[in-house]
Amino acid sequence: MSNPPPTGSPPSGSADKTDWLSELISPLRTVGREMLVTSLFVNLLALAVPIFVMQVYDRVIGHSGMETLKGLLIGIALVLAFDYVLKQTRGRVMQMVALRIDVDIGTRLFDKMNRLPLRILETRPAAHWRQLFQDVDTVRNTLSGGTALLLTDLPFVFIFLGVIYVIGQPLALVFVITFAAFIILAWRSGQRLGQSAKAEKNVTANRDALISEMIAGRGTVKAVALDKALRPLWEERQAGAIEHSIQRGAIADGYVNLGGMLTLMANVMVTAVGAVYIIDHQLSMGALIACNMLSARLYGPINQLVGAWRGFGAFRQAVARLGETFEMAEDRVETTITRERPAGVLRVENVVFTYGGETNAPATIDIAALDFRPGGLTAILGKNGSGKTTLLKLLMGLYPPFSGRVLLDDGDMAQFTRHELAGWIGYVPQETLLFNATIRDNIAYGAPGCSDQAILEAAHAAGVHSAIVDMPDGYATTIGEAGSRLSAGQRQRIAIARALAGNPAILLLDEPSASLDRQAEEDLRAALQAMARTRTVVVVTHSAVLLPACRDVVVLDKGKVAASGLAADILPRLFAPRPAPVPAPAPAPAPAPAIGAAP
Ligand SMILES: Nc1ncnc2c1ncn2[C@@H]1O[C@H](COP(=O)(O)OP(=O)(O)OP(=O)(O)O)[C@@H](O)[C@H]1O
């Protein structure tokens, strides 16, 4: 048994995870061409200094040509100024490219993540999703940083080879051989560093995931002194990360040093072979010096390639990871027809749902028929793990059922977009999640753009208004990371207000009174009763204050409906006083061993 693909648009079906990059780069083609032309001029201008040196050695020094020297100096000064302007322009273009890439991929990734079905988001650790945003940085830095410059410079090494052939023809073969050796070295280093970087990334991600969990649960870590238990685990992961980092560093150093040695050897060979040709009168002194200078322009980019290859490996992985994400199926985002606010009748029809989707796994939810209607509160009860929260998520359309349907006003949930459903259904989760913003903003997140009046009404209904106005900054109070400056009860009430802000037709609450005091619970009961007159209000609760106010009750047991109907019928049966256990007869006292008996 496997879950069907989530609702909404299917993946594009393209197997190539780099297609998105081509799409991204295609509008930048004109900029790329401009970059290449600029690089062509920058590289041509780079020939000026070696040619200047050659002329000075061969024409000025040999023939005391002061006038020639002055002319050459003026020429080279103009060339260097032009070179500076070109490089500045190239730098600006690069910044523009970086900005566009940041905006394009960053926004695309943010939107994509928000459109991914919840089950997909839940199946990968938080570290994976965080990594994707670092991948955007990697792609930006590669396409707009030193690596991109290196790539635009690389084709021009052939110009330098050509010029070397023209001015130092006898040396050309030495250059071709050393050039080939550099290419092999760069390719090999790329392979080794790529493998090593991949292994290091996996180990580091493992270590970072542990740190993230520790930071998220820092209160508990302190209270339970979990650091002692977690230290060996962290040490093991940290040791793994260090070991891989050292290995990668050693490989990278090895190749960089080999590249350096190869450069020196090439210089020695060019000078030695050049000296032989000078003695033989086949080469001038100036030409040898110019060739030596040009060799730096030739080997420089390839030597950089040896070091930059690791970056390419990370770039390729980042592109693949982002491509895989962009290919994933999405929640439905488009609606063909604008609908009115629903009446709020929810119906579950033959719904089977299981996490993980293993063939033989017992269903987490297996319900033949269940209705939720406005006009009175409905409570869902059941033991821990019986599937109450999962049922609420199915009712919200957050999980697509494996089989069967969830209907909203007789329409299959699957046809509605996430934004439509979120506008119609208010949800108070078991674990309150607030953001580091003002109280006003946190309530308004439930209905973006809602009026101040709607916020005030929601806060009143959630019983949190007087607590808010008691604070010195009132609704402008910033609540700290995840609402850390508020008490658990205040957080829960603000979460309830957030769910009410959009005046939803359906309200689903998961243990909403777990952190409330008695008075707050009674206030909440009154507010829910009032709302349930015109809305469908479903509350997962075992509270002795909320339950008596419910019209209907659904009892879940291992994902199945164990009982459902009027609360007046079911609750008394459920909470009927159990017969007092009959005390077990006291065991007969063991006979005292006879004095002198054998043990
Ligand atoms: N994201 C998940 N991935 C895999 N299994 C899950 C996931 N969430 C819940 N489960 C499993 O599904 C079952 C039902 O969980 P659910 O949270 O719906 O129960 P519940 O009745 O709300 O429990 P509680 O009263 O403790 O809140 C449990 O066995 C749980 O282990």
Number of domains in the chain: 2
Residue with CA at minimum distance from ligand 1 atom 5: 355
Task: Point out the domain boundary residue: 327, 354, 389.
Answer: 327
Is residue 437 situated within a structural domain? Answer: yes
275-293 confidence digits (pLDDT tens): 998 898 888 888 888 888 8
pLDDT of residue 78: 92
Q: Is 357 in the pocket of ligand 1 (CB under 6 A)?
A: no
384 lines ligand 1 (CB under 6 A): yes
Q: Please tell me if the CB atom of residue 558 comes closer than 6 angstroms to any atom of ligand 1.
A: no
Domain co-membership, 142 together with 208: yes
Q: Atom 4 in ligand 1: which residue has the minimum CA distance?
A: 355
| Residue nearest to ligand 1 atom 16, measured at CA | 387
Cα–Cα dist 284/160, whole Å: 18
pLDDT digits (tens, 9 = 90+) for 476-534: 999 888 888 888 888 988 999 999 988 899 999 999 888 788 888 888 888 889 889 98
Residue 159 lies in a domain: yes
Residue whose entry in the numeric block shows the structure tokens 């700290």? 480
Q: How far apart are CA 240 and CA 140, in angstroms?
A: 29
Alpha-carbon span 489 to 436, nearest angstrom: 17
| Shared-domain flag, residues 540 and 456 | yes
Q: Which of 256, 262, 253 is nearest to 299 (CA)?
A: 262
The alpha-helical segments, DSSP class H, found in 26-125 are: 29-45, 48-55, 62-63, 66-115, 118-123
Please name which of 176, 2, 149, 11 lies closest in space to residue 90, comparing C-alpha atoms: 149
Contacts of 201 (CB under 8 A, 6+ apart): 314, 317
Mean of per-residue pLDDT scores for the chain: 84
Give counts: helices (H), strands (E), the chain. 21, 10
Q: Is 354's C-beta closer than 6 angstroms to any atom of ligand 1?
A: no
* Ligand 1 proximity of 386 Cβ (cutoff 6 Å): yes
Residue whose CA is at the smallest distance from ligand 1 atom 31: 385
How far apart are the C-alpha atoms of 478 and 442, rounded to whole Å? Answer: 10
On whether both 26 and 109 belong to a single domain, the answer is yes
The residue to mutate among 364, 391, 392, having the most atoms of ligand 1 within 8 angstroms of its beta carbon, is: 364
On whether residue 529 sits in a domain, the answer given is yes
| 231 and 376 both lie in a single domain | no
8 within domain boundaries: no
Is 351 in the same domain as 314? Answer: no
Is 98 found in the same domain as 56? yes
Question: Strand pairing of 403-408 and 506-510?
Answer: unpaired
Domain-located, residue 13: no
The token pair that represents 559 in the structure block? 């994902």
State how far the Cα of 443 lies from the Cα of 450, in Å rounded to an integer: 9
User: Does 586 map to a domain?
Assistant: no
Q: Residue 225's pLDDT is what? A: 77
**What pLDDT, on a 0 to 100 scale, did the predictor assign at position 186?**
81
Cα gap 444→598, rounded to integer Å: 83
Nearest CA to ligand 1 atom 7: 355
Ligand 1 nearest atom to the CA of residue 365, by list position: 14
* Whether residues 370 and 509 fall in one domain: yes
Would the CB of 359 count as within 6 Å of ligand 1?
no
For the chain (length 599 residues), average pLDDT per consecutive 10? Answer: 43 60 80 83 84 84 82 90 89 83 88 90 86 89 79 81 83 84 84 81 83 80 80 89 88 86 87 89 86 81 73 83 91 75 92 79 90 93 94 93 92 88 90 88 86 91 89 91 85 90 91 85 87 92 91 94 91 72 55 38
pLDDT value of residue 263: 85
Q: Are residues 280 and 425 in the same domain?
A: no
Report the candidate in 432, 115, 416, 386 with the shortest Cα–Cα distance to residue 395. Answer: 416
587 domain residue, yes or no: no
Residues in the chain: 599
Euclidean distance between CA atoms 108 and 28, whole angstroms: 17
Sheet architecture: strand order including 411-412 = 365-372, 346-353, 403-408, 411-412
What pLDDT does 583 receive?
60
CATH number of the domain enclosing 64: 1.20.1560.10
Instruction: Say if 559 falls within a structural domain.
Output: yes
Asked if residue 283 and residue 367 are part of one domain, the reply reads: no
- For residue 393 and ligand 1, the question of a CB distance below 6 A is answered with no
Instruction: Give CA–CA dist 252/246, Å, rounded.
Output: 10
Sequence-separated (6 or more) residues with CB below 8 Å from residue 150: 301, 304, 305, 308
Stated as kind and residue range, the H or E segment containing 303 is helix 285-327
- Regarding the beta carbon of 382 and ligand 1, being less than 6 Å apart is answered yes
Residue 431: what pLDDT?
A: 86
Q: Which amino acid residue places its CA nearest to atom 23 of ligand 1?
A: 385
The alpha carbon of 413 and the centre of ligand 1 are apart by a number of angstroms equal to 22
Whether 174 and 204 share a structural domain:
yes
Residue nearest ligand 1's atom 1 by CA: 122
ipTM of the complex: 0.97
User: Ligand 1 pocket: which of 386, 392, 395, 402 to mutate (most atoms <8 Å of CB)?
Assistant: 386
Whether 169 is in the pocket of ligand 1, judged by its Cβ within 6 Å, is no
- Do 413 and 556 fall into the same domain? yes
Tell me what pLDDT residue 585 has. Answer: 57
Q: Is 412 in the pocket of ligand 1 (CB under 6 A)?
A: no
Q: What residues make up the domain containing 159?
A: 19-327
Residues 218, 311: one domain? yes
Domain CATH for 420: 3.40.50.300
